[in-house]
């Protein structure tokens, strides 16, 4: 991600209003006994917003994300609803009606996704650079070889990975570095929306903290919006602007993070909050401000 591109993003005219609107989206798994995995999900995603999507395993979070990006496969079927992407150039794009080629061009350039378990998704027999280069060649054929390499080096540097690692293989990187590479790949073409599905689940808490701080920093620098999916509600309270809580395929509560924390309405949300007690002090300061308490005992 070149300096010129980043400056261009900052200088671009930002379209007011939401960047994504999901209305009454329903997804059914057509098995012997059909499963209604997502039921009439509706929400709007603001530009530059982090929207948390929380809920227990199996509640439909990932199914909803796949349906938005039209990555669902049989037996999953979108039964009803509408997904509208509000491009910053003024065009409204109806994602559920896009033809295959237009959908291929849309993905990664407008909306990208960091998949669950993504740090293990890299090809083990190809270098990091070649895999980033593949994504660029598939979506932006105007760039020459040197321009692509410069872009790949820039995006690695932006997520805190030494550009020299372009020549490394995945097994030569730590788990946290592989996760950073996957985030770099998702932001390679500067999309306006990034969906992150459990991007820090397999990482230890220190690396998780660093990744979360990077996500918040990059979002503020580039003004992309994030749908952050996890079952860890306290984590979402730390980084999200708003949070949607899912239960059995439905969004049962959607509000500002602070409002949800202080006065959740739905009993399920209150139970989720009660199930994650704080070990010490106030949560969240180390993410939002970059400050955290020293391990040394204070006098």
Please give the pLDDT value at position 199: 85
Please give the pLDDT value at position 278: 60
Distance spanning both ends of the chain, measured CA to CA: 46
Please give the pLDDT value at position 291: 45
Buried-exposed string 59-78: b where 16+ CB fall within 10 A, e elsewhere: bbbbbbbbbbbbebeeebeb
Instruction: Quote the tokens at residue 277.
Output: 């007690």
pLDDT < 70 regions, the chain:
1-16, 118-119, 277-299
Q: How many CB atoms lie within 10 A of CB 155?
A: 25
Q: Which of 249, 271, 246 is nearest to 35 (CA)?
A: 249
Phi, psi of 217 (to 5 degrees): -65, -45
Please give the pLDDT value at position 70: 94
| CA 251 to each of CA 132, 133, 165, 262, 276: distance values in angstroms, whole numbers, following the listed order | 35, 38, 41, 19, 20
Q: Which of 280, 238, 227 is nearest to 261 (CA)?
A: 238
Domain spans of the chain? 3-277
Residue 110, helix vs strand vs coil: coil
H/E run at residue 215: helix 205-222
- The rounded distance, in Å, linking the Cα atoms of 156 and 166 is 8
Q: Which residues have CB under 8 Å from 174's CB, separation 6+?
A: 207
- The rounded distance, in Å, linking the Cα atoms of 216 and 211 is 9
Cβ(217)–Cβ(27) below 8 Å: no
84: β partners: 21, 94
Please give the pLDDT value at position 280: 56
Angle between the N-to-C axes of helices 145-158 and 175-186, in degrees from 0 to 180, rounded to the nearest 10: 120
- The rounded distance, in Å, linking the Cα atoms of 240 and 292 is 18
CA 190 to chain centre: 13
CATH 3.40.50.300 fits 3-277, yes or no: yes
Please give the pLDDT value at position 281: 54
Q: How many CB atoms lie within 10 A of CB 44?
A: 17
- The rounded distance, in Å, linking the Cα atoms of 211 and 204 is 11
Please give the pLDDT value at position 211: 84
**Residue-wise pLDDT tens digits, 101-146:** 999 989 999 999 998 776 678 899 999 999 999 989 988 888 899 9
């Amino acid at each position: 991600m070149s300096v010129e591109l980043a400056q261009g993003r900052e200088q671009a005219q930002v379209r007011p209003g939401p960047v994504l609107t999901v209305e009454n989206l329903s997804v059914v798994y057509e098995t012997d006994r059909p499963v209604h995995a997502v039921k009439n999900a509706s929400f709007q995603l603001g530009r530059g917003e982090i929207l948390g999507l929380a809920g227990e395993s199996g509640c439909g979070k990932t199914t909803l994300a796949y349906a938005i990006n039209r990555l669902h496969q049989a037996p999953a079927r979108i039964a009803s609803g509408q997904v509208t992407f509000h491009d910053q150039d003024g065009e409204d794009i109806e994602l559920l009606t896009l033809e295959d080629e237009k959908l291929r061009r849309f993905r990664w350039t407008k909306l990208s996704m960091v998949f669950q378990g993504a740090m293990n998704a890299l090809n083990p027999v190809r270098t990091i650079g070649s895999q980033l280069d593949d994504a660029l060649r598939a979506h932006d054929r105007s760039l020459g070889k040197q321009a692509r390499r410069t872009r790949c080096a820039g995006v690695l540097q932006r997520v805190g990975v030494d550009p020299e690692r372009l020549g490394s293989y995945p097994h030569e990187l730590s788990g946290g570095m592989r996760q950073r590479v996957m985030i770099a790949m998702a932001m390679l073409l500067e999309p306006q929306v990034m969906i992150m599905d459990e991007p820090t689940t397999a990482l230890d808490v220190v690396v998780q903290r660093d990744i979360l701080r990077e996500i918040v920093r990059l979002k503020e620098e580039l003004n992309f919006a994030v749908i952050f999916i996890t079952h860890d509600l306290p984590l979402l309270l730390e980084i999200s602007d708003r949070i949607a809580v899912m239960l059995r395929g439905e969004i049962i509560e959607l509000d500002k993070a602070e409002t949800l924390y202080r006065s959740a309405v739905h009993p399920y949300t209150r139970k989720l909050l009660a199930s994650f007690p704080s070990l010490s002090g106030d949560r969240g300061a180390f993410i939002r401000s970059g400050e955290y308490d020293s391990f040394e005992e204070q006098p």
